[in-house]
């Protein structure tokens, strides 16, 4: 329970009001909307957002009945135009209702506000290292034995092809030094808002112990992947024990492997990974 | 139960299974006949499912026991019906071999209950521009009376269809959708009338409950859930706040034919989270109201959450039970409320008999002797945010509980979830959201769900079955000693009604978001549980 509380604090961060104050106070220093949205526009956008969107998406965009919007990229809305159209028309077949009461100008303000909700993990910090050296460290550290970039590597952990667009340097530094403190969300098949790659230890009916990262779970079954990539599926009712280890990660810390300068180099390299680099094979 | 035949057009004689002869309309050559008397005696034909909650008392209990603890593990899919896209929150009805269900947003389908093959379908063709502020574009089912199917539409109409063909008999505009009135609930058909509620408190409507003449569609009565100045209860509203005071009636109520009272839950006051503009208790929001079925006159009310500021609608299903209570038989109405308290009331008078917490809550120290909550300080939404349990979706929500007269337990799907509540300023503009704040719910590993079995007299917890996430689906108990339900993760399940032990589950591949029901056809019991856009009909293998 304590580890749950820790995750909760991390996720909520400074809270919606605190976040808003920080954004308004620091004006154009934060967020994807920084080049275009003034503090006044953000405040007006927030007012309409709270009235029309927050009931499902959460006051600070953290999600609720609807998916979280406080993220670096919105899967259904890569740009403001698409986001505005989506708000205007709704998403057929889902609980997303058309917001037909909002004018075009109000839709634009809400879109900019939603963009400004991109989490600190996508924004915080600076990387001052050398990306070229970082790439060599990525290879030396055998990162590709668990991660993929541009289709190369092993998909045991998260794909890093666009990690530089989704995360910020501070988050990535923490992920390298203290992986359990930076477990991602929304990358696996788990329901949204659950931490991904949660380490789970089970003992089955025959006494066999399996430790793996959670791939998925429902009320009666759980799916794990062990460090060798083997998938295990269990009926919970048949297990002797099931223990969720919120303070662990299957990824080891590189604190004792790399110097601080080397970690900076690695983070700088990861920040260059900003999108798919699909190789066409003819 | 006899009525003057002059109220009927084209009366004809139909022999019921009981041997009684009654007058019914539309029966010349008609195959589908559900006169009021059959609805009153719904328990005597458990092979059918005649109303949204299975009976006027809303137990959502099936007397069928062919599927039981000993064989439920063999349950398997008999057929699947695929609905139109959208969220399915409907409970199907089944009578005389035909299943009537609704598909999103406002479509009615009649199916062969043996195979799932469609017989007819009717689409209300609601415009894309229809407003549904405060909830998704869903419909929860139809009502049957005589040879007619009744359904509400998203754009706030009540529609009557010929049960045989789906042909439109009449369509009545209940309220103006452009002002934010909309409808999703299954109607309640009583003697010659169809009772319907309304949605729209999140758009600042003034709520009401309506009854319509079942034959003509003319409105028989309207009772507002928010009194106008000078009417009883109007002193619980400051200024002109009553005009946009909310009090939606968006689920389906219950009915006691002997007392001739309709019981209906009312929703939150408007605006939801900023109560500053509406000082007072805000009657009759977040309350249970008992209305005379003939006139709509308010007989009594009980307000669960005075001056609600957390969107804790009291629209949950009121379950009517007749039980020995402290030494004598009493007619009771019980409700597991969204505000996390369980209530037992006398349904003749509305007298509060008992209440207690059934799920985690942090807003009240308890209930006083009259059932009024003893509200804790600093539990209102604030501009900075305030963590309170339960979340705005409540400890339970629209999905149905179930009462088993065998175990005398009320089974409740429970959302174990808190939220940080925020207040904001809100101005009423017609047809726009009127909320005054919002929430940020705790989610992921910090929230989960249960099916809880409560002692119906006390609300004491007798067992609980944990679910991975807070559920959006109801439960149904059966005489086979089972409780059926479903989860957000696609688990359809059956629990032992006595102990909560899981006895069967099936991964349906899409979220369960409906209420289970059961019927029997060709001598075999079926259990129906929708998941995603698939309506699963389950049965035991043929012997």
Contact B181, B162 (CB under 8 A): no
Interior angle at CA B516, CA B512 and CA B519, nearest 5: 145
Contact A7 B446 (CB under 8 A): yes
Q: Ramachandran region of residue A261, left (φ > 0), alpha (ψ -120 to 50) or beta?
A: alpha
What tokens does B204 get? Answer: 């600042």
Q: Which residue has the higher pLDDT, B279 or A194?
A: B279
Binding-face residues of A in 105-124 toward B, CB within 8 A:
none
Contact A50 B137 (CB under 8 A): no
Residues of A in contact with B360 (CB under 8 A): none
Pairwise CA distance, residues B285 & B307, whole Å: 8
Determine if the peptide bond prior to B285 is cis (ω within 30°): no
Indicate the Cα dihedral angle B2, B7, B11, B17, nearest 10°: -30
The neighbour count for residue A256, using CB atoms within 10 Å, is 7
Of B275, B274, B298, B273, nearest in space to B288 by CA: B298
Given a cut of 90, whether residue B425 has pLDDT beyond it is no
Does A47 sit within 8 Å of B384, measured CB to CB? no
On whether any CB of chain B is under 8 Å from the CB of A195, the answer is yes
Which run of H or E residues covers position A212?
strand A209-217
pLDDT at A23: 32
CB contact under 8 Å between A54 and B507, yes or no, is: no
Quick one: pLDDT at residue B510? 96
Q: Which candidate, B161, B91, B87, B172, places its Cα nearest to that of B122?
A: B161
For residue A241, the distance in angstroms to the closest alpha carbon of chain B comes to: 16
Distance in angstroms (rounded) separating the CA atoms of residues B516 and B536: 10
pLDDT at residue B9 in the model = 37
Question: For residue A191, what is the nearest residue in chain B, using CA coordinates?
Answer: B444
Say how many residues make up chain A: 282
Q: Which residue of B has its CA nearest to A246?
A: B445
Q: Greatest CA span in chain B, whole angstroms? A: 69
- CA neighbours within 13 Å on the CB side: how many for A161? 15
DSSP codes of every residue in B89-121: -PPPEEETTEEEEEETTTEEEEEETTT--EEEE
Q: Which residues of chain A have pLDDT under 70?
A: 1-36, 119-125, 192, 276-282
> What CA–CA distances, in Å, run from B44 to B3, B40, B93, B323?
21, 9, 16, 20
Contacts of A97 in chain B (CB under 8 A): 132-133, 136-137
pLDDT in tens, B19-72: 344 444 443 434 678 999 999 999 999 999 999 999 999 999 999 999 999 999
The answer, for A244 touching chain B at a CB cutoff of 8 Å, is: yes
Query: Is B517 in contact with B528 (CB distance < 8 Å)?
Result: yes
Alpha carbon distances (Å) from B419 to A225, B390, B443: 32, 7, 9
Q: What is the pLDDT of residue B313?
A: 98
* Residues of chain B found within 8 Å of residue A8, distances taken between Cβ atoms: 442, 446
Q: Which helix (H) or strand (E) holds A111?
A: helix A104-116
B194 to A259, B43, B153: CA distances (angstroms): 75, 20, 14
Average pLDDT over residues B147-166: 97
pLDDT of residue B163: 96
- A-chain CB neighbours of B507 within 8 Å are 218, 221
β-strands B409-416, B402-404 pairing? antiparallel
CB B157 within 8 A of CB B457: no
The pLDDT, as a whole number, for residue A122 is: 59
> Span B203-225, mean pLDDT?
98
Query: Edge-to-edge strands of the sheet including B319-325?
Result: B319-325, B328-336, B341-346, B352-357
Mean pLDDT value across residues B195-215: 98
Shortest distance, CA B441 to any CA of chain A (angstroms):
6
**Cα separations in angstroms, A159 against A126, A144, A150, B114:** 22, 10, 9, 48
Tracing tokens 């009565």 back to the chain, one arrives at B221
> Which band of pLDDT confidence, cut at 50, 70 and 90, is reported for residue B4?
very low
Q: What is the mean pLDDT of residues B421-450?
A: 90
Residue A193 DSSP SS3: coil
Note the pLDDT of residue A98. 83
- Asked if residues A4 and B444 have their Cβ atoms less than 8 Å apart, the reply is no
Per-residue pLDDT, averaged over B499-512, amounts to 97
Q: Scan for tokens 């009517």, then name that residue.
A: B320
Residue A198 CA from chain centroid, whole number: 14
The CA dihedral of B452, B453, B456, B457, to the nearest 10 degrees, is -90
Non-local CB neighbours of A182 within 8 Å, separated by 6+ positions: A121, A171, A174, A175
Classify residue B406 by burial, with Cβ atoms within 10 Å: 0-12, 13-18, 19+.
Answer: middle
Most B CBs within 10 A among A9, A55, A60, A221, hence the mutation to make, goes to A55
Angle at B9 between CA B7 and CA B10, to 5 degrees: 140
- What are the angstrom distances between the C-alpha of A149 and each of A144, A155, A165? 8, 9, 13
Contacts of A243 (CB under 8 A, 6+ apart): A200, A201, A202
CB-based contact A232:A209 (threshold 8 Å):
no
Question: For residues B240 and B171, is the Cβ–Cβ distance under 8 A?
Answer: no
Least CB–CB distance from B426: residue in A16, A51, A195? A51
Task: Decide if A101 and B384 are in contact by the 8 Å CB cutoff.
Answer: no
Residue closest to B483 by CA, chosen among B543, B422, B400, B423: B400
Q: Nearest-CA distance from A209 to chain B in Å?
A: 23
A210 reaches B (C-beta below 8 A): no
Q: Give the residue on A whose Cα is nearest the Cα of B382.
A: A17
**Six token digits for residue A225:** 């992947």
Taking the CA of residue A66 and the nearest CA in chain B, the distance in Å comes to: 11
Q: Give residue B291's pLDDT band: very low, low, confident or very high (50, 70, 90).
A: very high
Q: How far is B450 from chain A (nearest CA, A)?
A: 10
User: What one-character DSSP code corresponds to residue A48?
Assistant: H
Question: Inter-axis angle of helices A104-116 and A39-52, to 10 degrees?
Answer: 100
Least confident of A171-180, B220-229, B409-418: A171-180
- Cβ–Cβ below 8 Å for A219 and B128: no
For B136, which of A95, A193, A220 is closest by C-beta distance? Answer: A95
- Interchain proximity B469–A191, CB inside 8 Å: yes
Q: What's the pLDDT tens digit per position in B62-109? A: 999 999 999 999 999 999 999 999 999 999 999 999 999 999 999 999
Chain B residues touching residue A92 (CB < 8 angstroms): 85-86
Catalytic site residues of B?
Answer: 311
Rounded CA gap, B57 and B512, in Å? 24
Report the residue of chain B nearest A89, measured CA to CA. Answer: B128
Q: Which of B327, B361, B362, B322 lies closest to B342, judged by CA?
A: B361
From CA B146, how far away is CA B129, in angstroms rounded?
A: 34
Residues B74 and B273 sit within 8 Å (Cβ to Cβ): no
Give the rounded percent of residues in chain B with a pLDDT score beyond 90: 90
Neighboring chain B residues of A12 at a CB cutoff of 8 Å: 420, 440
Q: Which of residues 85-104 of A touch B (CB under 8 A)?
A: 89, 92-95, 97-98, 100-101
Residues of A in contact with B383 (CB under 8 A): 17
A159, A208, A226 from A230: Cα distances, Å: 18, 15, 5
pLDDT > 50? residue B186: yes
Q: Give the pLDDT confidence score for residue A124 in this predicted structure.
A: 61
Q: Give the mean model confidence (pLDDT) for residues B431-451.
A: 90
Tell me which chain A residues have a C-beta less than 8 angstroms from the C-beta of B393.
65
SS3 content of chain B, % helix, strand, coil (to 5): 5, 40, 55
Asked if the Cβ–Cβ distance from A17 to B385 is below 8 Å, we say: yes
* Averaged confidence pLDDT in chain B: 93
Contact state of B128 with A97 under an 8 Å Cβ cutoff: no
Query: Torsions phi, psi of A7, nearest 5?
Result: -65, -40
Residues B467, A219: C-beta atoms closer than 8 Å: yes
Q: Do B433 and A51 touch (CB under 8 A)?
A: yes
Cross-chain residue pair B440–A98, CB shorter than 8 Å: no
pLDDT score, position A120: 62
Among the residue ranges A117-121, A264-268, B220-224, B349-353, the one predicted with the least confidence is: A117-121
**Cβ–Cβ of B392/A220 closer than 8 Å?**
no
């Amino acid at each position: 329970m304590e580890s749950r509380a820790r995750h909760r604090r991390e996720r909520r961060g400074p809270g919606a009001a605190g976040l808003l104050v920080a954004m308004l106070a620091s004006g154009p220093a934060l967020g994807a909307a920084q080049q275009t949205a003034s503090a006044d526009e953000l405040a007006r956008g927030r007012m309409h957002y709270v009235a029309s969107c927050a009931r499902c998406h959460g006051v600070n965009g953290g999600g609720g009945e609807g998916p979280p919007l406080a993220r670096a990229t919105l899967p259904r809305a890569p740009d403001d135009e698409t986001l505005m159209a989506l708000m205007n028309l709704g998403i057929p077949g889902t609980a997303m209702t058309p917001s037909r009461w909002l004018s075009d100008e109000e839709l634009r303000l809400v879109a900019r506000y939603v963009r400004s909700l991109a989490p600190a993990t996508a924004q915080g910090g600076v990387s001052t290292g050398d990306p070229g050296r970082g790439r060599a460290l990525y290879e030396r550290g055998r990162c590709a034995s668990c991660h993929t970039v541009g289709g190369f590597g092993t998909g045991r952990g998260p794909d890093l092809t666009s990690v530089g667009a989704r995360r910020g340097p501070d988050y990535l530094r923490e992920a390298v030094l203290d992986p359990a403190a930076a477990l991602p969300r929304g990358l696996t098949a788990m329901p949204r808002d659950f931490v991904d790659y949660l380490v789970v230890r089970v003992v089955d009916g025959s006494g066999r112990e399996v430790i793996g990262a959670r791939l998925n779970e429902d009320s009666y079954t759980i799916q794990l992947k062990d460090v060798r990539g083997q998938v295990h599926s269990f009926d919970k009712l048949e297990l002797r024990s099931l223990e969720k280890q919120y303070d662990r990660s299957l990824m080891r810390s590189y604190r004792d492997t790399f110097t601080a300068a080397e970690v900076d180099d690695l983070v700088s390299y990861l920040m260059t990974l900003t999108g798919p680099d699909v190789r066409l094979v003819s | 139960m006899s009525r003057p035949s002059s109220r009927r057009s084209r009366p004809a004689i139909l022999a019921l299974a009981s041997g009684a002869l009654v007058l019914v309309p539309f029966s010349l050559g008609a195959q589908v006949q559900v006169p009021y008397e059959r609805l009153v005696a719904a328990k005597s034909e458990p092979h059918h499912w005649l109303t949204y909650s299975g009976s006027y008392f809303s137990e959502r209990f099936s007397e069928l026991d062919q599927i039981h603890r000993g064989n439920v593990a063999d349950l398997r899919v008999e057929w699947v019906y695929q609905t139109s896209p959208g969220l399915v929150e409907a409970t199907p009805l089944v009578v005389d071999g035909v299943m009537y269900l609704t598909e999103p947003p406002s479509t009615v389908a009649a199916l062969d209950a043996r195979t799932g093959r469609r017989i007819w379908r009717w689409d209300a063709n609601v415009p894309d521009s229809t407003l549904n502020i405060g909830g998704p574009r869903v419909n929860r089912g139809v009502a049957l009376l005589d040879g007619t199917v009744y359904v509400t539409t998203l754009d706030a109409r009540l529609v009557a269809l010929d049960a045989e063909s789906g042909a439109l008999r009449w369509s009545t505009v209940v309220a103006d959708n452009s002002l934010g009135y909309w409808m999703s609930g299954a109607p309640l058909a009583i003697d010659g009338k169809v009772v319907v509620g309304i949605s729209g408190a999140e758009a600042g409507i003034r709520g009401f409950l309506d009854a319509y003449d079942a034959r003509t569609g003319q409105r028989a009565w309207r009772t507002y859930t928010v009194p106008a100045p000078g009417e009883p209860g109007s002193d619980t509203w400051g200024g002109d706040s009553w005009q946009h005071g909310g009090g939606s009636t968006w689920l389906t109520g219950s009915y006691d034919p002997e007392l001739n009272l309709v019981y209906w839950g009312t929703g939150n006051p408007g605006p939801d989270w900023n109560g500053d503009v509406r000082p007072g208790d805000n009657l009759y929001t977040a309350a249970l109201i008992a209305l005379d079925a003939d006139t709509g006159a308010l007989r009594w009310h009980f307000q669960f959450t005075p001056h609600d500021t957390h969107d804790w609608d009291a629209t949950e299903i009121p379950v009517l039970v007749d039980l020995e209570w402290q030494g004598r038989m009493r007619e009771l109405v019980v409700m597991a409320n969204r505000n996390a308290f369980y209530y037992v009331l006398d349904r003749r008078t509305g007298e509060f008999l008992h209440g207690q917490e059934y799920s985690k809550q942090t807003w009240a120290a308890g209930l006083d002797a009259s059932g009024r909550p003893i509200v804790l300080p600093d539990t209102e939404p604030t501009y900075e945010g305030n963590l309170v349990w339960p979340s705005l979706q409540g400890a339970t929500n629209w999905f149905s509980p179930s009462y088993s007269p065998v175990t005398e337990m009320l089974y409740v799907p429970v959302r174990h979830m808190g939220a940080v509540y925020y207040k904001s300023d809100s101005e009423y503009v017609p047809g726009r959201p009127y909320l005054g704040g919002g929430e940020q719910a705790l989610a992921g590993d910090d929230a989960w769900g249960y099916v809880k079995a409560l002692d119906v007299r006390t609300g004491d917890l007798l067992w609980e079955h944990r679910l991975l996430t807070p559920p959006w689906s109801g439960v149904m108990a059966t005489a086979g000693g089972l409780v059926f339900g479903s989860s957000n993760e696609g688990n359809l399940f059956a629990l032992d009604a006595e102990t909560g032990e899981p006895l069967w589950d099936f991964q349906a591949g899409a979220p369960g978001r409906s209420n289970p029901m059961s019927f029997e056809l060709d001598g075999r019991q079926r259990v129906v549980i929708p998941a995603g856009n698939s309506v699963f009909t389950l049965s035991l293998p043929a012997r």
